[in-house]
Amino acid sequence: MQLEGLNAVVTGGGRGIGREIALELAEAGASVAVADINLTSAQQTANTIQEMGRFAMAIAVDISDSAQVKNMVNAASEALGSLDILVNNAGIGISASVMETTDEELDHVLGVNLKGTFLCCREASKTMVAQGKGGRIVNIASSAGDNARVEGGAYCASKAGILQLTRVLAMELGPHGINVNSVSPGLTDTIAGPNVSANQAYRNSFLAQVSLGRAAHPRDVARAVRFLVSPESGYVTGETIHVDGGYSAGKPTVRA
């Protein structure tokens, strides 16, 4: 129960990786506010946590809207009593070449992934600084943040922005005892993962570059998040943990 007595917000916690993060933190003892644009799915995750005997609540939020983000942070810290952990997981993906990406698609992907993560960091860090007892922020980026791919212009750019935002925040918030890190999943088996992957050919070509030879399970990602919000990682900040089976480590080129 490493996280006993700590209060967390997990965005995009209604399904996929975010749901597993919310459950993982609750299993480690945290109380969790599950925030999602889909209130029904957020409530389902909160119900599962409550069935474990932990405190959980669901909050409806579109993270790209600053008024809704302020409301999320206020509602969570009021109901939970404090805000110690923020996990910025909510995100969306598209596959389109730069030439084919529309203004609407660009605004949507950057608006949710980069601006949304920025807004949540900004509002939560104000609360954490005012509380004066430190805190933890973990941003879910992607191996696409530092590995370019065809038809990934908007998505890769949004995730690269999150990686740099993480480092800036680590500089700004370190003096307040707030650690800020990223977790970069590779191909992860969620509803969105295979959809974004579009087809089996993409999946196969991705997995051919994964040293461990399989896609991630959402819990693989959630466990890295748990480490980054636990006392064991107290001296880690501004860092990125790749949970991608070796995809980012190098190219599996074999010398003839």
Ligand X SMILES: NC(=O)c1ccc[n+]([C@@H]2O[C@H](COP(=O)([O-])OP(=O)(O)OC[C@H]3O[C@@H](n4cnc5c(N)ncnc54)[C@H](O)[C@@H]3O)[C@@H](O)[C@H]2O)c1
Instruction: Catalog residues that contact ligand X under the rule CB under 6 A.
Output: 11-12, 14-18, 36-38, 41, 61-64, 89-93, 112, 116, 140, 142, 185, 187-188, 190-193
Residue of 70, 115, 126, 159 with catalytic role = 159
Tell me which residue of 38, 12, 39, 10 sits closest to 25, measured CA to CA. Answer: 10
Cβ closest to ligand X, residue 38 vs residue 48: 38
Q: How far is the CB of 59 from ligand X (least distance, A)?
A: 10
Q: What contacts 180, CB < 8 A, 6 or more positions away? A: 121, 136, 137, 138, 139, 166, 169, 170, 173, 237, 238
Beta strands 178-185 and 31-36, pairing class: unpaired
Active site residue 155: yes
CA-CA distance, 84 to 81, in Å (whole number)? 10
CA-CA distance, 55 to 160, in Å (whole number)? 34
Cβ closest to ligand X, residue 84 vs residue 220: 220
Q: How far is the CB of 252 from ligand X (least distance, A)?
A: 19
Cβ closest to ligand X, residue 173 vs residue 221: 221
Cβ closest to ligand X, residue 83 vs residue 222: 222
Structure tokens, 180: 């800020």
Q: How far is the CB of 256 from ligand X (least distance, A)?
A: 32
Q: Beta-carbon neighbour count of residue 195 at 10 Å?
A: 10
Q: How far is the CB of 207 from ligand X (least distance, A)?
A: 12
Contact 28, 223 (CB under 8 A): no
Q: Where are the beta strands (DSSP E) in 65-108?
A: 85-88
Contact 109, 92 (CB under 8 A): yes
Structure tokens, 134: 């430190």
Cβ closest to ligand X, residue 111 vs residue 177: 111
Residue of 155, 202, 235, 251 with catalytic role = 155
Q: How far is the CB of 14 from ligand X (least distance, A)?
A: 4
Q: What contacts 11, CB < 8 A, 6 or more positions away? A: 18, 35, 36, 61, 63, 72, 86, 87, 88, 89, 90, 116, 120
Catalytically active residues, by annotation: 155, 159
